[in-house]
Amino acid sequence: MLNAKNCCRTGKPAPDSYIPLGECITIRAIRVYSSNRPADVPSRGLLLLLPDGFGLARHNLILADRFASEGWHVIVPDYFEGDPLPIQMLRRDNTLSIDEQPWPEEDKQKLRDLDFPAWLQRHNHPRVSSLLNDLIAGLSEQAENATIVGVGYCFGGKHVLRLAKSSLKAAAAFHPSFVEAEDVAGIQAPLYAGLAEKDDMVPASLPEDLQAWAIPKMKANVPFTMEIYPGVGHGFAARPDTNDDVIRTQYERAFQKSVEHLAKTIGGEN
């Protein structure tokens, strides 16, 4: 079980100065961030980026724009329906109490008001799966026979596994949270899993569990690759502390591994 007390407190937010390249639109009543490839870059299809608990925060939009620059039309769903975890969790100086943070009172109150178990209940996994299935249906209507691949981070890692059973041609999951054996059963898309060596927010047994669940439960002959990234903790692939050389290096490596895996499995590797 995820360590709820410290959930999502690791990592750094992206700078407010970052200007997203895409736009927010609505598909099947679901708000999404849509980032398209540059006109001079060949298309690789559609990529569904399933974000961590911070939803459409800038660090997730940066990832979307980076994948778009590699040739994908990227969709990031707001499956928290306008209710993501407050970004102040990443901005907080954990040596100080909430009252001692050098913030406006409004920002402090967001952390005081956060009830993580209640937040999880509002955005329970059946609800999120339902929203994603609806989104997939809407995307399929817009682009019939589109090749859809997916990458998920933290909270989104569990759901990219679920979608890899039927809706995705390839999938990558980084430091996935809340993963259970049933999430892996029946996966039919080539899967890459990137785990953090120092991840104290998922069970220590997760690497062994994924191996044990994947081998007998994924469909026969479906490629499964798992890699443990040294020297980093939970969230490194989505919200890195770019001032830390080790984290920044592993963040870049995780991105490149994603691109290589997703491109190779759809036959579009450069």
Structural domain spans, the chain:
4-265
What is the reported pTM?
0.94
Band of pLDDT at residue 90, cut at 50, 70 and 90 = very high
Mean pLDDT, the chain, integer: 92
Put residue 36 in one of left, alpha, beta given phi > 0 → left and psi -120 to 50 → alpha. Answer: beta
Nearest-angstrom CA–CA distance, 248 and 252: 6
The lowest-confidence range among 15-24, 139-148, 222-231 is: 139-148
On whether the CB atoms of residues 49 and 62 are closer than 8 A, the answer is no
Structure confidence by residue, pLDDT tens digits, 103-127: 999 999 999 999 999 999 999 999 9
**Two tokens at 226?**
């798992």
Q: Which range in 14-18, 91-95, 172-176 is most confidently predicted, on average pLDDT?
A: 172-176
The lowest-confidence range among 4-13, 29-38, 91-100, 155-164 is: 4-13
CA angle 142, 23, 249 (to 5 degrees): 105
More confident residue, 170 or 94: 170
- Per-residue confidence (pLDDT) for residue 9, from 0 to 100: 61
pLDDT surpasses 60 at 4: no
Nearest-angstrom CA–CA distance, 73 and 175: 24
CA-wise closest residue to 189 among 215, 162, 155, 228: 162
4-265: CATH architecture? 3-Layer(aba) Sandwich (3.40)
- Per-residue confidence (pLDDT) for residue 143, from 0 to 100: 78
